Amino acid sequence: MNDKELEKLRHSAAHLLAQAVKELYPTTLLTIGPATSEGFFYDFLPEVNFSIEDLPKIEKKMQEIVQKNLPLTHRQISKKEALKIFSDNKFKQELIENLPGDTVGLSEQGDFQDLCKGGHIESTGQLKYVKLLAISGAYWRADKTKDALQRISGTAFFTEKELKDYLKRKEEAAQYDHRKLGKELDLFSFHLEGPGFPFFHPKGKIILNLLINYLRNLQQEHGYKEIETPLILSDQLWRQSGHYQHYKNNMYFLAIDDAPYALKPMNCPGAFLFYNEKPHSYRELPLRLAEFGKVHRHELSGVLHGLMRVRAFTIDDAHLICTINQLEEEIQKTIHLTLKAYKDFGFESVKIGLSTKPENAMGSDEEWQKAEQALANALTNSGMDFVIQEGEGAFYGPKIEFKILDSMGREWQTGTIQVDFFLPERFDLTYIASSGQKERPVVVHRAIYGSLERFLGILLEHYKGKLPFWLAPVQIKVMTITDDQNEYAESILKKLKDHGLRADFEKNSDQISAKIKAAQLEKIPWMLVVGAKEQENNTVTLRYMDGKQEFGLLLDQVLVKAKNQSI
Amino acid sequence: MNDKELEKLRHSAAHLLAQAVKELYPTTLLTIGPATSEGFFYDFLPEVNFSIEDLPKIEKKMQEIVQKNLPLTHRQISKKEALKIFSDNKFKQELIENLPGDTVGLSEQGDFQDLCKGGHIESTGQLKYVKLLAISGAYWRADKTKDALQRISGTAFFTEKELKDYLKRKEEAAQYDHRKLGKELDLFSFHLEGPGFPFFHPKGKIILNLLINYLRNLQQEHGYKEIETPLILSDQLWRQSGHYQHYKNNMYFLAIDDAPYALKPMNCPGAFLFYNEKPHSYRELPLRLAEFGKVHRHELSGVLHGLMRVRAFTIDDAHLICTINQLEEEIQKTIHLTLKAYKDFGFESVKIGLSTKPENAMGSDEEWQKAEQALANALTNSGMDFVIQEGEGAFYGPKIEFKILDSMGREWQTGTIQVDFFLPERFDLTYIASSGQKERPVVVHRAIYGSLERFLGILLEHYKGKLPFWLAPVQIKVMTITDDQNEYAESILKKLKDHGLRADFEKNSDQISAKIKAAQLEKIPWMLVVGAKEQENNTVTLRYMDGKQEFGLLLDQVLVKAKNQSI
C-alpha cells in the first residue's frame, strides 16, 4: 500500500464523515473535506455547533454506513446540473463556479452526494478503521472575514493494527508535546503580551545558540558568507519582490515618517539589496549568502501552536547566487550539507520530494527543464530516492523538499532547496561573465532547519526531551553524597567548565537519591556522583540518565568521553 | 583648567556668535546656545537662510567684538522686565514663561543682551581661539512640528595650540570616519529602502559576531544567563512600563488583529515578563539576565549618522535582579567586568560619572542614599576616580556612566550601570526572602558596549580601520611569489583554518608587491608570504601590516604567535 492508496482511503473517510453528519444533522452545510498527512477533516457549517461529546454519536453513524458497504461511484456532470444539486449550499455553489472547465466531479454513496474531483476506495465497507479525533474552528477559505466553520478531524487506516499503532503514537506524542516539555525543562514560554512570539528562557536560548553555532560553523567550512539585513524595509521593496501582492495578509506594516514600511516576512529582498550594492564578476560565483534572519509572519491566533507555529521565527536562510551551469553542483552540495545536518541531529530517515513546473509558471520551458534536471541529477548523484511532485513547484521555480522522520514515526517538512528565476529578474541581479557581458544569475533559496524555533520543537519531541549530550543545556550535574565532598565537587565543576562543558553543581544537602531524581527530571545526560571514596581516590562515578553507571573514573577519562560526544 | 572653565568659555563663545549674527543680520531671531562637549552651537531663525559661505564673515565680526574686549556681566531681572526686553522674540518669550521662579538671568556684553542662567568668562577678549565649523538644521525644542531653525556650531579653546590640536584631530577623525572605513573595508552599508537600518556585509557581520561571542563568554563565566524576548510586545505593556508615556515619539507601532503593539525600544519589559513567569526565592538572587536585544528607536532622519546613530541596534543588555544588600557587590562586579572589556578592546582610559538624585525623583531618600552610596562605594573600592554629576540621575534611580577615550582623544559614552527602584514596582517583581515574606528586589540595568553597532563604529575609528588581530574579519592572507607555490599555500591555508583562524588565499597571479598592497588596503593584520625558498624549507615569511617581517618561520611558530594574540 502506498501513500496514494492511503490518501484515497482518507479522502473517502471524509465523505463518510460528511454523510454521517448530514444524516444526523440534515441542515448542516458541507464545505470541503480533504485527506491530510495525518488523516482527514471536513469543515461544516452546522445549525448548532458540535461539541466533542457528539463525536461518538457521529462515529456510530459512520460505522452503520460502513456496515452497509455502499459502493462509491464518481462521475462528471455539467456545472449546471451540479449547481442544481447543491442549490441549498452557498459554499458548494462558490466552489462549482470557481472550478475550471464545464463539468465538475460528483461522488455518490447510497443517497449521499458530494462535489469531488475523485480518488476513492471501492465501497464504505473498507472504512472500518476510522477514528474521529477533534473538533476545531476554521474559516471558509481560511479567511477570517468569511464564515466561521467547524472542523471535525479524524484518521483512517487499512488495518486495525495500523490504527491502533497510530493512536498509541498520538498518545505518546501528546505526552512528549514540546509545549509540555518546554515548560517542564524551563526552555521557553508564551505571554499574552506577545501572542505567537516565543520568550526563550536561559536553557532554551542555549539550545538556540547551539543550533546557530552548529550551522554557522558548517556553513563557514562550506564557503558561505553570513550577512545581516534589517528587520524593517520599505513597502516599495515588498512590492518589487511581489510579497506585497501575494503575501500582505501575513505581513505587519508600520509607518516611519509617514511612509509605509513592513517587517520582513522573508530575507531575500534584503540579501539582494546587499548583492546589488556593487557589481559582481563571474569569479565571485557561486556566492553563498547566509543569514539567520528573524522574520515576522501573521498567523491566525487559532492556529498558533507552541514553537511549531509562531508569528516570529528565525530562518537559517541562504541565497546561493550562481550561473545556470553551476546550479547542479550547488544543489548537490546543498543536499549533502542538509543530510549531514539532519544526521548530526539524529534524523537518519529523510523523505525527499521534487516539485516540478506548475501551470502559469514564469520562465521558459528550457530554463525549467534545465533547473528540474539539475535538481533531479543532484538527487540521483547523491544516491537519494525521491518522489516527483508533479506541478507542485512555485510559479517562480522548481524545488526540493525535505521531510525528516522523528522517533514517533511522524514526518516534519523542514528544509527546502528552491530554484528561483523570478527574483533575479525583479531585482535585476547581474554579474559580469568571462565574456565581459552582463548576465543574469540564478538564485537558489535554501533552508536546512527551516525555522530554528520549530526545529527546536521537533528536536524536543523527537528526543522526548532527552536531548543528546552535545545539545543538552546542562550536560553534566555534579553531586555529592555528603556535604564533606562539596569542595572536591567545586574543583571538578571548575575543570568541567574550563573545558567548555555546560556543568552545574547543586549545593543542597538532599539525599543523593533525591539529587539523582531531580537531575533525571531535568533530563541531564550525565551525573558525576562523588562520595568519600571518590574524593579519596580522586575519581568520580559517572551515572547516565538511564541509570547505568561507571565507577572510579578519573576526571580526564570523563573529559575524553565528553569530547567523543561532540559533533 | 577644568571642564567647568571650558564650558564657561564655550558658553560665552555662543553669546559671541549670537552677538555677531545679530549685528550682521539684525532681524534674526535668537533661540538657545549651549556649550557642548566638542564646543558650542546657537540655533537661529534668520530671515534668509545662512550658508556655509557666511561663516567667515560671521567669524570676522566675532573677532572684531573680541578685539573690543567687552566685559560680560550677568544679573537677575524680573520676568516682566525680561518679557519687555525680548518682546520681539517668541522663542525667548516662551523660555521666560517656562522658567521657574519670578526672575530670570540676563547676560550683557556691550549693547548685546541675552537670556542666560549665567556661567561666563570675564570679557570677550578671552575668546580669541574660536572657530566656526558647521551649519545644520534643527527644530525648536527638537520637535519637528515646531519651527525649523538653523544651527551654527563651532568650538573654542583657551590657547591657540589647543584649538590647532583640536582641528587637526577633527581632520584626522574625518579621514578615519567609520562610514568611510566601513565602505573601504566592505563592512556595512545603508540603503534607501531602510533608512537608519544598517546592512552588515560578511566582514562586518564577523566583527559583530565576535563582539557577541566575546561578551557572551565573559558573561557566562560571570554567572549571567542569556534570554531572548520578542521584538514586538503589546502597547499595554509599554504603558505599564511607562515607555509609552515618556518615549512614544521614538517608538514604532503596528496593529495585530486590530490591537495595538509596538516594536521594543528597550528590553526591560520582556525580561520582567520572563522573571514573573514563576515565583523566585532569595536563593536565586542575584539573577543576572542578559539579552543581546535588537531594539528599534525612531530618530529624525537628519541626525542619523552611520552606525553611531541608527534606528535599529543591538543592546548588550543585562538586568541584575538582586536584594538591596547585594547591590554594592553586584555593581562592583559589573564595574570590573566593564573595565576588563574596555581594556580587552584597547580602551585603557575611561572616565566615570556618577549621576545622583534629581528633583522629582521617585523612591524614598533612604533608598536613594543607599543606592548612591552603593554606587560610590563600588567605584571607590574598585580604585576608580569619578565625578559626581549632581542631580543628573534618572527619576527612577542613580547611575554610573562610562566614557571611553579613543586614540584621537575623543570621549564616547558607552556603558551604564543604572539602579532602578521604579520598574520593580511597576512590574510587581518579587522574591521570597529567607523569612518567607515576599520582598521587592532592586533591578540594575547594565550595558557595556551600549549599542553593538555603535561600538563597532567606535572601534573602527579608534583603530583607524586597523583592527587588532583577534577582531580582524580576515586575520591572515596567504600569498605566493609565483603560482608554483599555490599548492603549498593551499595546504597552509587549510591548516590555518583548521586552527580556527580567519585566513584567505588570493589565487591571482599578480606581482607579490601588488598582493601586499591589496592586503594592506584591506588592513589585514598578517600576511604569510611563500616563495620557492619557503616551500623548500617548509616555512613561511610573516609580514605584518606595518611592513615588519619575520623570515623562515615554521607554521607551528605562526600558530603559537596567533594563539598569543587571542584575548
A249-277: average pLDDT: 96
> Is residue B152 within 8 Å of B28, Cβ to Cβ?
no
- CA dist A250 and A264 (Å) reads 10
Residue type for A337, please? L
- CA dist A200 and A310 (Å) reads 13
User: Is residue A266 scored above 60 in pLDDT?
Assistant: yes
Quick one: pLDDT at residue B563?
A: 95
CA distances from A426 to A288, B120, B341, B362 (A): 20, 62, 45, 56
User: Is residue A246 scored above 90 in pLDDT?
Assistant: no
| Residues B82 and B123 occupy one common structural domain | yes
Structural domain for B357, as ranges = 179-462
Query: Domain total for chain B?
Result: 3
Query: Domain boundary residue among B440, B462, B484?
Result: B462
Residues 6+ apart with CB under 8 A from B325: none
Strand-strand pairing, A224-226 and A232-234 = unpaired
Chain A, window 229-288: residues with a beta carbon less than 8 angstroms from a chain B beta carbon: 229-234, 236-237, 252-254, 256-257, 263, 269-270, 273-274, 277
Q: Where does the pLDDT of residue A2 fall: very low under 50, low under 70, confident under 90, or very high at 90 and above?
A: low
CB contact under 8 A, A234 and B193: yes
Strand-strand pairing, A476-480 and A103-109 = unpaired
- How many separate helices (H) and strands (E) can be counted in chain B? 18, 27
| Side-chain half-sphere exposure of B49, counting CA atoms within 13 A | 10
> Is residue A271 within 8 Å of A206, Cβ to Cβ?
no
| Residues A150 and A90 occupy one common structural domain | yes
CA distances from A75 to A33, A82, A85, A531 (A): 18, 11, 14, 78
pLDDT tens for each residue of B132-148: 999 999 999 888 889 99
Give the closest residue to A44 by CA, choosing from A22, A61, A67, A28.
A28
Biggest CA–CA distance in chain B, Å, is 92
- CA dist B366 and B452 (Å) reads 36
A209: chain B residues, CB-CB within 8 Å: 216, 226
CA distances from A423 to A237, A391, A396 (A): 12, 20, 8
For the beta carbon of residue B3, count every other beta carbon within 10 angstroms.
10
Give the closest residue to A495 by CA, choosing from A505, A484, A485.
A505
E strands, A347-475, are 350-355, 387-389, 399-405, 411-420, 431-432, 438-439, 442-451
User: Is residue A1 scored above 90 in pLDDT?
Assistant: no
Q: Which of A256, A296, A301, A303 to mutate to test the interface with B (most CBs of B within 10 A)?
A: A256
B277: chain A residues, CB-CB within 8 Å: 189, 191, 199, 201
Q: Where does the pLDDT of residue B2 fall: very low under 50, low under 70, confident under 90, or very high at 90 and above?
A: low
pLDDT tens for each residue of B187-201: 999 999 999 999 999
pLDDT tens for each residue of B546-559: 999 999 999 999 99
A232: chain B residues, CB-CB within 8 Å: 194, 197, 252, 263, 296, 312
CATH number at residue B197: 3.30.930.10
> Is residue B140 within 8 Å of B31, Cβ to Cβ?
yes
CB contact under 8 A, B228 and A189: no
> Considering only A41-45, A287-291, A358-362, B149-153, which range has the smallest mean pLDDT?
A358-362
| Residues B25 and B152 occupy one common structural domain | yes
CA distances from B223 to A149, A224, A493, B332 (A): 51, 33, 14, 14
| Residues B518 and B559 occupy one common structural domain | yes
Query: Whole-number mean pLDDT of chain A?
Result: 94
The nearest alpha carbon in chain B to A234 belongs to B193
> Is residue A368 within 8 Å of A398, Cβ to Cβ?
yes
The nearest alpha carbon in chain B to A205 belongs to B227
Biggest CA–CA distance in chain A, Å, is 92
- CA dist B256 and B508 (Å) reads 54
Q: Which of A199, A211, A301 to mutate to test the interface with B (most CBs of B within 10 A)?
A: A199
Please tell me which residue, B5 or A342, carries the higher pLDDT value. Answer: A342
| Residues A112 and A10 occupy one common structural domain | yes
pLDDT tens for each residue of B497-523: 999 999 999 888 899 999 999 999 999
| Residues A251 and A129 occupy one common structural domain | no
Q: How far is A87 from chain B (nearest CA, A)?
A: 35
3-state secondary structure of A405: strand
Quick one: pLDDT at residue A389?
A: 93
- CA dist B547 and A273 (Å) reads 37
| Side-chain half-sphere exposure of B21, counting CA atoms within 13 A | 32
> Considering only A408-412, B254-258, B308-312, B543-547, which range has the smallest mean pLDDT?
A408-412
pLDDT tens for each residue of A74-92: 999 999 999 999 999 999 9
DSSP β-bridge partners for residue B320: B288, B444
| Residues B190 and B241 occupy one common structural domain | yes
A16-29: average pLDDT: 96
Cβ-defined contacts of B388-392 (< 8 Å, 24+): B388/B353, B388/B354, B388/B356, B389/B353, B389/B354, B389/B355, B389/B356, B390/B356, B391/B355, B391/B356, B391/B357, B391/B358, B391/B359, B392/B353, B392/B355, B392/B356, B392/B358
| Residues B499 and B416 occupy one common structural domain | no
Please report whether residue A90 resides in a domain.
Answer: yes
B301: chain A residues, CB-CB within 8 Å: 257
- CA dist B295 and A440 (Å) reads 37
- CA dist B411 and A186 (Å) reads 43
Please report whether residue A117 resides in a domain.
Answer: yes
Strand-strand pairing, A188-189 and A199-200 = antiparallel
> Is residue A526 within 8 Å of A543, Cβ to Cβ?
yes
For chain A, say whether B191 makes contact (Cβ under 8 Å). Answer: yes
CATH number at residue A540: 3.40.50.800
Please report whether residue B89 resides in a domain.
Answer: yes
Q: Where does the pLDDT of residue B1 fall: very low under 50, low under 70, confident under 90, or very high at 90 and above?
A: very low
Sheet holding A253-256, edge to edge: A232-234, A259-263, A253-256
Quick one: pLDDT at residue A363?
A: 77
Query: Domain boundary residue among B170, B191, B220?
Result: B170
- CA dist A119 and A4 (Å) reads 9
The nearest alpha carbon in chain A to B270 belongs to A199
User: Is residue A18 scored above 70 in pLDDT?
Assistant: yes
Please report whether residue B367 resides in a domain.
Answer: yes
Cis ω on the peptide bond leading into residue B230 (within 30° of 0)? no
> Is residue B65 within 8 Å of B130, Cβ to Cβ?
no
> Is residue B39 within 8 Å of B133, Cβ to Cβ?
yes
Global model pTM greater than 0.95: no
Q: Which of B228, B267, B504, B510 to mutate to test the interface with A (most CBs of A within 10 A)?
A: B228
**DSSP codes joined into one string, B238-256:** HHHHTHHHHHGGG--EEEE
Give the closest residue to B479 by CA, choosing from B508, B521, B522.
B508
Of A194, A206, A274, the CB nearest to B230: A194
Please report whether residue B468 resides in a domain.
Answer: no
A304-322: average pLDDT: 97
3-state secondary structure of B309: strand
Please report whether residue B471 resides in a domain.
Answer: no
Give the closest residue to B470 by CA, choosing from B238, B211, B285.
B211
Please report whether residue A298 resides in a domain.
Answer: yes
Give the closest residue to B352 by CA, choosing from B409, B394, B413, B420.
B413
pLDDT tens for each residue of A137-153: 999 988 878 999 999 99
CB contact under 8 A, B193 and A228: no
| Residues A383 and A274 occupy one common structural domain | yes
CB contact under 8 A, A197 and B296: no
Give the closest residue to B342 by CA, choosing from B448, B216, B460, B461.
B448
Query: Domain boundary residue among B142, B170, B198?
Result: B170
Please report whether residue B550 resides in a domain.
Answer: yes
ipTM for this prediction: 0.84
| Residues B250 and B113 occupy one common structural domain | no
B479-495: average pLDDT: 96
Give the closest residue to A45 by CA, choosing from A67, A18, A23.
A18
Strand-strand pairing, A442-451 and A476-480 = unpaired
**DSSP codes joined into one string, A372-401:** HHHHHHHHHHTT---EEETT-SBTTB-EEE
> Is residue B262 within 8 Å of A232, Cβ to Cβ?
no
| Residues A376 and A513 occupy one common structural domain | no
| Residues B98 and B203 occupy one common structural domain | no
CATH number at residue A128: 3.30.980.10
Cis ω on the peptide bond leading into residue B34 (within 30° of 0)? no
Please tell me which residue, A144 or A415, carries the higher pLDDT value. Answer: A415
- How many separate helices (H) and strands (E) can be counted in chain A? 18, 27
- CA dist A11 and A1 (Å) reads 15
**DSSP codes joined into one string, A36-57:** -SS-EEEEEE-SS---GGGHHH
> Is residue A275 within 8 Å of A285, Cβ to Cβ?
no
- CA dist A8 and A126 (Å) reads 11
Residue with cell 586614540: B407
For chain B, say whether A312 makes contact (Cβ under 8 Å). Answer: yes
